[in-house]
């Protein structure tokens, strides 16, 4: 992985490909490359580092009306020019760009070496292009050669193959890693993400898993139909913001309004989620809810599980999707599984959904991308309506996940024993969220001052209990991924069972303190930390004893069940400003990618 762009048509390929790579930079990468057909010969440029360095090497006026390009996030081999994609065969006729992992690449590479092929990279992808080149000598079409080679490949791939002797076609293939086609007038675009296409077309076709297709300037054949994406070039532009994370944090009030629009029913004090396609009888038959996600999506699932148990009084929990299929899970027909993925392409989550479908489980998706793999595999679910999220660190998508799960919990509660009065209280609380989130965002300057005060810390604890526990986990995640400061989340009661040994004046603790029935317990935890000299930053809507904490990050009060949604916002701002004080590249944290399509 991480980004693929292809073009075939009547125009100049180089500017389309380079601009496409620029729009995919947000996904995370360490090198980039491009292959253009010029007079039936390949011209390949590669650069370890940023797309801008590749642009300088290539130039926007490079000739050629067909080409492929790639941004690489290293999985096999170090970050070097040689390991960057595209990879070519020995003759320089064929080029391949590839997202995913070829799990049997060691065997394939060993066979090629035994056959006398000289490999020039350490990647799994290079084996594919040599195998395709050899098989192309024996087949009538490039697609047949690609199909034959992929039949012996184990692993995942989003693949585009270019033959300089056949410059009127590209062959694309998908298995576990996204490929989308963009349909233009006498030109066709290929990408791993629709973000690379919206400048040129809103008509797209998503390849299905296991699909291989030949693409020409004016024709292609796939199992899917073209659909219109309601996105534009402006959706992926910064505007006046310093970076995308700041832009997307500021967009959260409007994103939540979109998620709530048309879904709240004050008359019956409930929520409408038509996309899950479950009638009241089916909802009543749900005996358990399990949320499956990775990273921030997993922590959002924990918030959701707490909400379901509180409001619907049925067992619920969250589990990392990356672990789910490997532990041979028991699939219960009375359990509703919720697969969570911002991109809808997270491989671990997709694999969990496929395992559930294979075993007859009932699974719905919670995704932010229409037509994504998880959405198609689930067939029903909740669309997050967060809008495009470019920053690697999720903010508005996480918030919309938790808001969506609050509506799911309200719906489940109202078909059971949650009273109309209780439902009405939650409906009003949900309606209040956009303005309350804006109120928290308006404390930006105060949060920035606190963040700068602790920017020199080397380690930090995030502490919470019950409702505050997933908030603490997400807060630690944000701080780790964009500031590189070591942060650990702990349940408040667990501090005294080991972690308290690490508390001293150089170990700040961010303590999540909602104004709920556990307030006195949380105050006791803070006193334990202060007794050992540890600085405390409280994220709270409670009135704390004077002088108890070193800093407070305040939120408005809502229904206690919904407070975790608001408590998360200051932790986003805190992580952002601390990372900014340290001079980090906030939108492109090291070693991370936005859409994780490998295991």
Q: So what's the pLDDT on residue 593?
A: 67
Task: Judge contact between 331 and 275, C-beta under 8 A.
Answer: no
Number of domains the chain is built from: 3
Which stretches of the chain score pLDDT less than 50?
none
Task: Judge contact between 4 and 19, C-beta under 8 A.
Answer: no
Please say which residue of 202, 236, 270 terminates a domain. Answer: 236
557 domain-assigned? yes
Residue 151 dihedral angles phi and psi, to the nearest 5° = -65, -20
Please say which residue of 398, 419, 441 terminates a domain. Answer: 441
Q: So what's the pLDDT on residue 189?
A: 96
Q: Helix-strand-coil percent breakdown of the chain, rounded to 5? A: 40, 20, 40
Q: Rounded to an integer, what distance in angstroms lies between the CA atom of residue 349 and that of residue 344?
A: 8
Task: Judge contact between 444 and 573, C-beta under 8 A.
Answer: yes
594 domain-assigned? no
Q: How far is CA 337 from the centre of its chain?
A: 19
Domain that holds residue 11: 2-236
Q: So what's the pLDDT on residue 424?
A: 97
Q: Rounded to an integer, what distance in angstroms lies between the CA atom of residue 574 and that of residue 482?
A: 11
Whose CA is closest to 374, among 303, 306, 301, 292? 292
Contact partners, residue 357, CB within 8 Å, separation at least 6? 363, 377
Residue 116 and residue 18 share a domain: yes
CATH number of the domain encompassing residue 570: 3.40.50.10490
592 domain-assigned? no
Q: Rounded to an integer, what distance in angstroms lies between the CA atom of residue 18 and that of residue 3?
A: 11
Identify the H or E element spanning 525.
helix 519-531
Residue 177 and residue 49 share a domain: yes
Strand order in the sheet with 188-191: 41-48, 31-38, 66-72, 2-8, 188-191, 180-183, 203-206, 227-228
Q: 43, 290, 478, 594: which one is catalytic?
A: 594
596 domain-assigned? no
Residue 449 and residue 430 share a domain: no
Residue 418 and residue 526 share a domain: no
Q: So what's the pLDDT on residue 2?
A: 78
Question: What DSSP state is assigned to residue 155?
Answer: B
In DSSP terms, which residues pair with 157 in a beta bridge? 175, 176
593 domain-assigned? no
pTM of the model: 0.85
Residue 262 and residue 380 share a domain: yes
597 domain-assigned? no
125 domain-assigned? yes
Q: So what's the pLDDT on residue 232?
A: 67
Is residue 594 among the annotated active site residues?
Answer: yes
Residue 276 and residue 130 share a domain: no
Q: So what's the pLDDT on residue 468?
A: 97
553 domain-assigned? yes
Residue 302 and residue 281 share a domain: yes
Residue 258 and residue 167 share a domain: no
Q: 2, 46, 294, 480: which one is catalytic?
A: 2
Residue 463 and residue 432 share a domain: no
Q: So what's the pLDDT on residue 74?
A: 77
Residue 415 and residue 373 share a domain: yes
Residue 154 and residue 109 share a domain: yes
Q: So what's the pLDDT on residue 323?
A: 93
Q: So what's the pLDDT on residue 1?
A: 53
Q: So what's the pLDDT on residue 177?
A: 85
């Amino acid at each position: 992985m991480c980004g693929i762009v292809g073009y075939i048509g009547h125009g100049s390929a180089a500017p389309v490909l380079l601009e496409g790579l620029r729009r995919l930079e947000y996904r995370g990468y360490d090198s980039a490359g491009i292959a253009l057909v010029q007079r039936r010969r390949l011209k390949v440029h590669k650069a370890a580092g940023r797309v801008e360095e590749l642009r300088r090497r290539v130039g926007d006026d490079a000739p050629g009306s067909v080409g492929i390009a790639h941004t690489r996030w290293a999985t096999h081999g170090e970050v070097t020019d040689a390991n960057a994609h595209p990879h070519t065969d020995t003759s320089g006729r064929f080029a391949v760009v590839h997202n995913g992992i070829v799990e049997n690449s060691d065997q394939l590479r060993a066979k090629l070496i035994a056959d006398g092929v000289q490999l020039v990279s350490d990647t799994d992808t290079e084996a594919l292009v040599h195998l395709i080149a050899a098989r192309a000598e024996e087949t009538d079409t490039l697609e047949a050669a690609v199909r034959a080679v992929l039949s012996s490949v184990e692993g995942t791939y989003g693949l585009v193959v270019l033959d300089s002797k056949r410059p009127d076609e590209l062959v694309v293939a998908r298995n576990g890693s996204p490929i989308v086609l963009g349909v233009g007038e006498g030109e066709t675009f290929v990408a791993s993400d629709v973000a690379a296409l919206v400048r040129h077309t809103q008509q797209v076709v998503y390849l299905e898993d296991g699909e291989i297709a030949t693409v020409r300037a004016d024709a292609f054949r796939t199992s899917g139909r073209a659909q219109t994406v309601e996105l534009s070039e402006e959706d992926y532009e910064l505007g006046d913001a310093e970076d995308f994370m700041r832009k997307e944090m500021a967009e959260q009030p409007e994103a939540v309004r979109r998620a709530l629009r048309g879904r709240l029913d004050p008359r019956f004090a409930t929520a409408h989620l038509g996309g899950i396609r479950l009638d009241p009888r089916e909802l009543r038959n749900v005996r358990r809810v399990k949320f499956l996600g990775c990273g921030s999506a997993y922590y959002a699932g924990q918030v959701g599980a707490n909400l379901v148990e509180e409001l619907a009084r049925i067992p619920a929990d969250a589990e990392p999707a990356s672990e789910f299929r490997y532990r041979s899970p028991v699939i219960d027909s009375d359990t509703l599984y919720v697969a969570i993925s911002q991109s809808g392409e997270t491989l671990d989550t997709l694999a969990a959904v496929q395992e559930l479908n294979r075993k007859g489980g009932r699974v719905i998706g919670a995704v932010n991308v229409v037509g994504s793999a998880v959405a198609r595999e689930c067939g029903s679910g909740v669309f997050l309506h967060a809008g495009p999220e470019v920053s690697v660190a999720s903010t508005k998508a996480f918030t919309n996940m938790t808001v969506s799960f609050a509506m799911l919990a309200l719906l489940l509660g109202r078909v059971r024993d949650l009273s109309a009065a209780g439902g009405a209280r939650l409906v009003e609380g949900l309606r209040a969220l956009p303005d309350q989130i804006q109120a928290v965002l308006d404390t930006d300057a105060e949060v920035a001052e606190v963040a700068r005060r602790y920017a020199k810390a080397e380690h930090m604890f995030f502490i919470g209990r019950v409702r505050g526990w997933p908030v603490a986990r997400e807060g630690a995640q944000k701080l780790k991924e964009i500031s590189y400061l070591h942060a650990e989340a702990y349940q408040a009661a667990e501090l005294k069972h080991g972690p308290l040994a690490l508390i001293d004046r150089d170990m700040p603790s961010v303590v999540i303190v909602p104004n709920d029935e556990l307030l006195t317990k949380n105050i006791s935890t803070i006193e334990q930390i202060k007794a050992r000299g540890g600085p405390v930053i409280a994220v709270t809507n409670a009135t704390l004893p004077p002088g108890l904490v070193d800093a407070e990050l305040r939120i408005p009060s809502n229904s206690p069940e919904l407070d975790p949604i608001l408590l998360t916002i200051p932790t986003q701002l805190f992580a952002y400003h601390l990372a900014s004080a340290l001079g980090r590249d906030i939108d492109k944290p090291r070693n991370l990618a936005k859409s994780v399509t490998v295991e």
